[in-house]
């Protein structure tokens, strides 16, 4: 008895450790994305998010003012100012005039640059550069320095994303695409799953095998042929090529194999006695499906709804192909992609965009999460 109790405790302990590891694997990167979304571009470049709560150190380069800014003082020509200009002040620990030795001189000391030219760069960024001869040229002396900046968090990235033009419209467009593209495959797959689980007809096994085979077909491989077929049908009936109907059908087609497979596995595991009792009472297949199967299958329906909603909401490729990037139809992911710039120059808003896009999926997941695990586990039961 004691041995069995010990094994049970060890088993539970192992499960708890595995769950904690799994949670950490997902939580730590999410925390990193959140912290990075509150940092500016310079801070993200300078250090990782795990260093965001301490002063960040980096080696930077600046340039002295041009010769036109010099003044003559005590028989010497002097350039003075602040290396940071109007930027945020930082603390300088060392400086140099060569890229190979950027920290050659401690901050506050006077460096001899030769020919009587001296440079003093203080910790607060103020500098004095003097020479017995007048400075010449429009480009001043290049200076390298090691500086540290205190922790700083900002909401500028969120302001850029949330208040950009057209972001509200793209949010509505994403809902317009996602909700029907989630509901339609559920309706079709539920009928198909019941037929494959409880109805006998020729070719049933072959049809099930075909559906399982379609699960491994990459979306990218079928995207262009599907688009050509859709455009051909659209031209024949005089329907525009970029419509919501097109993307609804595309997402329905891509989601149906998994939906049918998941729902069929669950429905096939329902008690046979319930079905037989209903048939004895004179219920038709449609009545059995509507009054018995659907209510009992809600957990697996909710599980697939979460999967499909997340997939469609986060989709960019299918939306770009079947819907385009017009202002009145562009979805949220495409709009956020456009905010990055044509060459991705504004990449610092990526982490902010990630958090903006997960708000709705999180609401959906937490609304249906109590059915999620139950639906997946029940869907793994072999039946039929």
- Find the CATH number of the domain harbouring 308: 1.10.3720.10
Q: Do 358 and 352 touch, CB atoms closer than 8 A?
A: no
Measure the N-to-C terminal CA separation of the chain; round to a whole number of Å.
39
> Is 18 within a domain?
yes
- For residues 71 and 182, membership in a common domain is answered with no
Instruction: Name the residue among 11, 32, 41 with its Cα closest to residue 341.
Output: 41
Number of domains observed in the structure of the chain: 3
Confidence grade of residue 371 (pLDDT, cut at 50, 70, 90): low
Residues 332 and 236 in one domain: yes
Structural contact between residues 214 and 257, judged by C-beta atoms closer than 8 angstroms: yes
Q: What b/e readout covers 110-120, taking b as 16+ CB neighbours within 10 angstroms?
A: ebeeeeebebb
Q: Are residues 25 and 42 in the same domain?
A: yes
Are residues 340 and 221 located together in one domain of the fold? yes
Lowest-confidence range among 5-9, 67-71, 109-113, 269-273? Answer: 5-9
Q: By C-alpha distance, which of 384, 104, 136 is closest to 265? A: 384
Looking at residue 32, what is its pLDDT? Answer: 86
Residues 81, 194 share a domain: no
- Asked if 122 and 173 count as a contact pair (C-beta separation under 8 A), the reply is no
pLDDT of residue 257: 92
- Mean per-residue pLDDT, 296-304: 88
Residues 144/96, Cβ–Cβ less than 8 Å: yes
224 and 97 belong to one structural domain = no
Question: Is residue 114 assigned to a domain?
Answer: yes
Residues 14 and 86 in one domain: no
The chain-wide mean pLDDT, for the chain, equals 84
Each residue's pLDDT tens digit, 147-206? 887 788 888 888 888 888 888 889 999 999 999 999 999 999 999 999 998 888 888 889
pLDDT bucket at 144, cuts 50 / 70 / 90: very high
DSSP designation for 291: I
- Return the pLDDT at 271: 86
126 within a domain of the structure (yes/no): yes
Same domain, 202 and 337: yes
Domain assignment of residue 356, yes or no: yes
Residues 137 and 34 in one domain: no
21-35 pLDDT, tens digit per residue, is 888 888 888 888 888
The answer to whether the beta carbons of residues 130 and 142 sit under 8 Å apart is: no
Q: Facing residues of 56 across strands? A: 149
Is position 154 within any domain? no
Instruction: Give the end of a domain, one of 27, 51, 75.
Output: 51
Confidence band, pLDDT 50/70/90 cuts, at residue 381: very low
Residue 384 lies in a domain: no
For residue 247, pLDDT beyond 80: yes
296 shares a domain with 222:
yes
Note the pLDDT tens digit of each residue in 266-298. 888 888 888 888 888 888 888 988 888 988 888
What the block records as the tokens of 102 is 């950027």
User: What is the mean pLDDT of the segment spanning 326-340?
Assistant: 84
Ranges of H-type helices in 71-142: none
- Provide the H-helix boundaries in 149-239: 156-162, 167-198, 204-214, 219-237
Q: Give domain status of residue 78, yes or no.
A: yes
Say whether both 92 and 115 belong to one domain. yes
DSSP letter (8 states) at residue 305: H
Q: What is the pLDDT of residue 6?
A: 55
Give the C-alpha distances (Å, rounded to integers) separating 324 from 83, 243, 254: 47, 9, 18
Global pTM reads 0.72
- What is the residue range of 128's domain? 56-149
Helix (DSSP H) and strand (DSSP E) numbers for the chain: 15, 9
269 inside domain: yes
Identify whether residues 243 and 340 lie together within a single domain: yes
pLDDT of residue 200: 84
> pLDDT per residue over 35-87, tens digit each?
888 888 877 877 788 888 877 777 888 888 888 888 988 889 999 988 887 66
Query: What's the pLDDT score for residue 380?
Result: 46
In our burial notation (b when 16+ CB lie closer than 10 A, e otherwise), range 212-232 reads: eebeeeeeeeebeebbeebee
Of 15 and 246, the structure prediction assigns the larger pLDDT to 246
pLDDT at residue 2 above 60? Answer: no
């Amino acid at each position: 008895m004691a041995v069995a109790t010990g094994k049970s405790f060890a088993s539970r302990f192992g499960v708890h450790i595995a769950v904690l590891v799994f949670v950490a694997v997902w939580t730590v990167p999410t925390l990193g994305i959140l912290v990075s979304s509150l940092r500016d571009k310079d801070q993200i470049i300078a250090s990782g998010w795990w260093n965001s709560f301490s002063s960040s150190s980096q080696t930077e380069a600046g340039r002295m003012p041009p010769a036109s800014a010099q003044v003559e003082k005590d028989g010497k020509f002097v350039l003075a100012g602040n290396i940071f200009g109007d930027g945020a002040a930082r603390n300088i620990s060392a400086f140099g005039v060569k890229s190979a030795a950027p920290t050659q001189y401690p901050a506050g000391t006077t460096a001899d640059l030769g020919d009587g030219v001296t440079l003093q760069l203080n910790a607060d960024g103020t500098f004095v550069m003097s020479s017995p001869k007048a400075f010449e040229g429009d480009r001043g002396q290049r200076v390298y320095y090691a500086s540290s900046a205190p922790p700083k968090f900002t909401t500028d990235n969120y302001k850029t994303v949330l208040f950009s033009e057209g972001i509200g419209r793209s949010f509505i467009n994403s809902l317009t695409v996602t909700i029907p593209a989630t509901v339609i495959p559920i309706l079709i797959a539920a009928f198909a799953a019941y037929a494959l689980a409880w109805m006998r007809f020729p070719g049933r096994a072959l049809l099930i095998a075909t559906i399982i085979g379609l699960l491994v077909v990459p979306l990218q491989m079928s995207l262009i042929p599907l688009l050509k077929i859709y455009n051909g049908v659209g031209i024949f009936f005089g329907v525009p090529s970029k419509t919501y109907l097109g993307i609804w059908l595309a997402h329905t087609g891509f989601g149906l194999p998994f939906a049918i497979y998941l729902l069929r596995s669950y429905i096939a595991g329902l008690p046979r006695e319930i079905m037989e009792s209903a048939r004895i009472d004179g219920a038709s297949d449609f009545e059995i499906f509507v009054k018995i199967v659907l209510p009992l299958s809600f957990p697996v329906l909710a599980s697939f709804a979460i999967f499909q909603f997340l997939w469609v909401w986060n989709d960019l490729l299918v939306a770009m192909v079947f819907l385009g990037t017009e202002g009145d139809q562009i979805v949220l992911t495409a709009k956020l992609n456009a905010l990055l710039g044509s060459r991705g120059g504004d990449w610092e808003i990526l982490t902010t965009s990630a958090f903006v896009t997960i708000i709705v999926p999180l609401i959906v997941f937490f609304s249906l999460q109590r059915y999620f695990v139950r639906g997946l586990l029940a869907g793994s039961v072999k039946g039929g």
